[in-house]
Structure 1
Amino acid sequence: MSIIKRQIKKAELFVKVLLSSSLVLGLVFVLQGCVTTTSSSNNYIDQLVIAEPLPINYKSEVAIARMTDVIHRADITDEQRAQLFYDRGVIYDSVGLRSLARLDFNRALRLKPDLVEAYNFLGIHYTQLQEFEQAYESFDATLELSPEHEYAYLNRGIALYYGDRASLAVDDLNEFYQQSIDDPYRLLWLFIGEYKVDAVEALKNLKVRAKNISDDVWAKSIVNLYAGTISQSQFIELVTQNIHSNKQFSERLCEAYFYLGKLNLLQGHKRAAANFYKLALSTNVYEFVEHRYAKLELDLLRNQQVSLPGS
């Protein structure tokens, strides 16, 4: 589930206005492959579909270079420079350069302290770093400046969830869910939050709310997996249906493997969960929320001194 694509488009437009130039688009995608694993006593998937990691988008590299040139050379206002720092930070984030992204978000806020989206992104990064108090402060600032900011509720809810404040997390995740009750991803995150509070009630609520989601939406299969109406093997078979590009394939696998990892973790299968999280990370779909928190989930498992494959 991407929360960055619209920001990259805004960034491109901003640079085009300043430079009166268009960006070069270059995308390279490669073939997909399969790998077979051995079934375990926990009935794990015996055949996993994988894709080669997505390459860095050439358009992003060009955008970073152009923005850097404008930031350092152009005669622009502090507000314009702040916007450029923010936009460059978004692109750094989308290609996995998190530290550079944080530097730019902080630079943007020093120049323009009311830049809402910069606070939101910093909150996400603090969550990934397990610096939860700073994450809460960033999301609180986002909502203070923009009370209707839907994704700040999702992101603060996730931060509260990982920060072991499950009840408060459910409040935020429910607020986010209520804005679009036919969105399977909103339902899944609400379920994950509720499960930490009351597993039985969470599953019951999931099954009731699932009726609001169209069967034509591919992520409905994730909901069905969590509801127990399909098996993990059946779910993997559905992942490859109606795929029209390698990019779409990688994005879908990023989502599928994250939620498989979370499901296995909720069931107590930590080693299997770790493998699924690593598969999600291997897609390089950095801008997806599932990719972000697959890494955090692995970090938390290591903090629990779980013996992870490949550690």
Structure 2
Amino acid sequence: MFKQFGFLCVSIVAIAGCNPVSSVDTPVNTASTAQQESYPAMAVPLQPNALAENNIAELTQLLSGDKVKAADRAQIYLDRGRSYDSMGLRDLARMDYFKSLEINPRQADVYNLLGMYYTQIGKFDTAYQAFDSTIELDPSNLSAVFNRAVAQYYGKRPDLALEDMRTYYESNPSDPFSALWLYIIESELDKNAALTRLKSTYENKTDQWEWKLVGIILNEVSEEDVSNYIVNSTANNTVMAQKFTEAYFYLGKNYMANGDIKRALCVYKLALSLNVFNFSEHSYALLELDRISDKFKSASKNGKQDKFVYR
């Protein structure tokens, strides 16, 4: 069960299991304590992956040899970069991706990875260029179209973001993530139209568990139901951490849309706390926190802290 998160989590977030903040002088409520102890155990934050560490060591040793063919060396740099990425060592990963491209510049997937990296650190123009390179080399690469849409959303290009996300959505309307992101992007331009589209899509949902996250937005599924589903259907801690990372992020987006900044801050931090570095929701949660921080600083500078509203 998660610990207290100070003044930011002033009330319980059902899916996160955040404890309510209480004063040290407040008498212990045994009924409340019993209720808290009944919460299901949550995922344990992922720890450094020994397999990835060994893989990095082996690949580094291979790169030290002088008889490795150029094509193999490009692949080794790519593989080591992916291992760095899985451990959250993004700058080291970026350096290896560039080294791989120096040897073989016609790798669409590597540009896609770089585009995601630049999105995560807020360098959106460079991210667009990387995704454009992916699509130029591989016009069928819809992953780059999706990622470019997200980059344009965070880069405040909503019209272009919507165009890309519609392209991705139309290629796979049964994908819950395309439905979620189409709603997130479209709602900034026309919330009623976005909600109508999401309801229509939800009626044809598949058995993928992520549709429950869509159900939260539509008030068809409760946060507690999602939390219980993840815990009760997932025995593997790694998979549980991955699912909660996704749930925390999209729950945070829903809180933000409803103006509940305190709870959004709480669940975004929870998304980061599980250390699922190779899931984009982990990095996007950090982007969201940065956006909130920038807005708050701007409001504070203008003396409008009490009227701070996120948009």
Task: Identify which of 45, 65, 86 aligns with 1:94.
Answer: 86
Task: Identify which of 177, 183, 186 aligns with 2:175.
Answer: 183
Measured after TM superposition, the shift of residue 184 of structure 1 is 0.9
4+ residue runs over 6 A deviation: 36-43
Instruction: Look up the SS of the partner of 1:229 in the other structure.
Output: coil
**Match of residue 108 from structure 1:** 100
- Mapped to 1, the partners of 2:190 and 2:287 lie a distance apart of 23
- Given that 1:239 and 1:256 are in contact with CA atoms closer than 8 Å, whether structure 2 keeps it comes out as no
**Match of residue 14 from structure 2:** 45
**Match of residue 149 from structure 1:** 141
Residue type matched to 1:55 in 2?
A: Q
Are 1:126 and 2:95 counterparts?
Answer: no
Measured after TM superposition, the shift of residue 222 of structure 1 is 0.4
**Match of residue 229 from structure 2:** 238
- Mapped to 2, the partners of 1:248 and 1:209 lie a distance apart of 26
Task: Identify which of 289, 303, 308 aligns with 2:294.
Answer: 303
Q: CA RMSD in A?
A: 2.2
Please give the TM-score of this superposition, normalised by the length of structure 2: 0.82
Residue type matched to 2:278 in 1?
A: E
Show structure 1 runs of 5+ residues with no match: 1-32
Q: Structure 1 96/39 Cα, relative in aligned 2: closer, same or farther at 3 Å?
A: closer
Residue type matched to 1:114 in 2?
A: R
Please give the TM-score of this superposition, normalised by the length of structure 1: 0.82
**Match of residue 219 from structure 2:** 228
Q: Structure 1 281/194 Cα, relative in aligned 2: closer, same or farther at 3 Å?
A: same
**Match of residue 211 from structure 1:** 203
- Given that 1:35 and 1:50 are in contact with CA atoms closer than 8 Å, whether structure 2 keeps it comes out as no
Q: Structure 1 178/149 Cα, relative in aligned 2: closer, same or farther at 3 Å?
A: same
- Mapped to 2, the partners of 1:225 and 1:184 lie a distance apart of 12
**Match of residue 265 from structure 1:** 256
- Mapped to 2, the partners of 1:39 and 1:64 lie a distance apart of 38
Q: More deviation in 36-45 or 237-246?
A: 36-45
Give % identity. 36
Q: Which has the larger radius of gyration?
A: 2
- Mapped to 2, the partners of 1:154 and 1:305 lie a distance apart of 29
- Given that 2:9 and 2:263 are in contact with CA atoms closer than 8 Å, whether structure 1 keeps it comes out as no
